[in-house]
Amino acid sequence: MKNPGILPDAAFLKDFLDEKADLYNHIDFIENDPIQIPHRFTLKQDIEITGFLTATISWGTRKSIINDAEKILSWMGNSPYEFVLNFQESDMELFKHLSVHRTFNKEDLNFFIRNLNRLYKENESLENLFIVKKEEVNFYHSFDRFRTEFFKDNQKHRSMKHVSATYKNSSAKRLMMFLRWMVRKDRKGVDFGLWKNIDQKNLSIPLDVHTGNISRKLNLIQRKQNDWKTVEELDMVLRKFDDQDPAKYDFALFGLGIAKEFEN
């Protein structure tokens, strides 16, 4: 039964997006997507660390992202949590002849691992660093709190560019993708649903050029920029379609882009 609060055209669009979300949110999705990297693990902290690092380098082709994530994973001896807890500067020698991923270089990787080492000595899980407060409806403030804590020891390091700043109006696509992986829970087996203290109703679409373009072709958004204001504009529409799980439509928008259903 259609939601009576949605106009006819919007109801048709909701049905269309629900159908596409169901189509692409499938276990087969994992094989060609960067989410395959954390899916190789069962320990919560291993999943978090590989998910966070993989999401951090998630720009460019999916193949290159997966290849470079595998390179990092191999460097960590395929035991990311153990590696992070026992990390020493000398471990970087194993990576000295390798590049990492585009502008994310060895210095960035070193800095990220050192910060993860500190955070995991202070927290059982990264979930604690992304909690949304009762008066908040999205991750705008949560992401800034995480960014501040992550770079607590050096607020001027070059790696800051690799963790999006929502207070500077970034769409925070990579952080949002990481959160979708960790928070969303359904029976499809793609997202993990590991974090129980964060409600998936607060998730947004990981907005980038592809999901943004599809959203405009569907008239879901009007803004031309792919920034945080556009994330909130898209939220207003998708939360009318499903206010308990709006991020499921990421599968629909991403899948439509991959399938090139809206090419001119």
One domain for residues 166 and 61: yes
Q: pLDDT tens for residues 133-180?
A: 999 999 999 999 999 999 998 767 787 899 999 999 999 999 999 999
One domain for residues 76 and 185: yes
Answer for the pair 217, 159: CB distance below 8 angstroms, yes or no. Answer: no
DSSP string, 35-63: GGTGGG--SHHHHHHHHHHHHHT--S-HH
What letter does residue 4 receive in the DSSP assignment? T
pTM of the complete model = 0.92
| Distance from C-alpha of 89 to C-alpha of 6, rounded to nearest angstrom | 56
| Distance from C-alpha of 255 to C-alpha of 188, rounded to nearest angstrom | 15
One domain for residues 176 and 64: yes
One domain for residues 19 and 58: no
204 Cβ neighbours under 8 A, 6+ residues apart: 138, 139, 176, 231, 232, 234, 235, 246, 247
| CB-neighbour burial class of residue 114 (10 A; exposed 0-12, middle 13-18, buried 19+) | middle
Q: pLDDT tens for residues 110-125?
A: 999 999 999 999 999 9
What letter does residue 189 receive in the DSSP assignment? S
One domain for residues 69 and 182: yes
One domain for residues 83 and 69: yes
One domain for residues 252 and 132: no
Number of domains in the chain: 2
Q: Which of these three, 163, 198, 233, is where a domain ends?
A: 198
| CB-neighbour burial class of residue 194 (10 A; exposed 0-12, middle 13-18, buried 19+) | buried
Which ranges of the chain have pLDDT less than 70?
1-8, 96-98, 155, 260-264
The confidence score (pLDDT) of residue 2 equals 44
One domain for residues 78 and 145: yes
- Domain with 240, as residue range(s), is 1-32+204-264
| Distance from C-alpha of 174 to C-alpha of 74, rounded to nearest angstrom | 22
Question: How many helices and strands in the chain, by DSSP H and E?
Answer: 10, 0
One domain for residues 8 and 119: no
One domain for residues 179 and 217: no
Q: Which of these three, 198, 228, 248, is where a domain ends?
A: 198
Tell me how long the chain is: 264
One domain for residues 156 and 257: no
One domain for residues 27 and 37: no
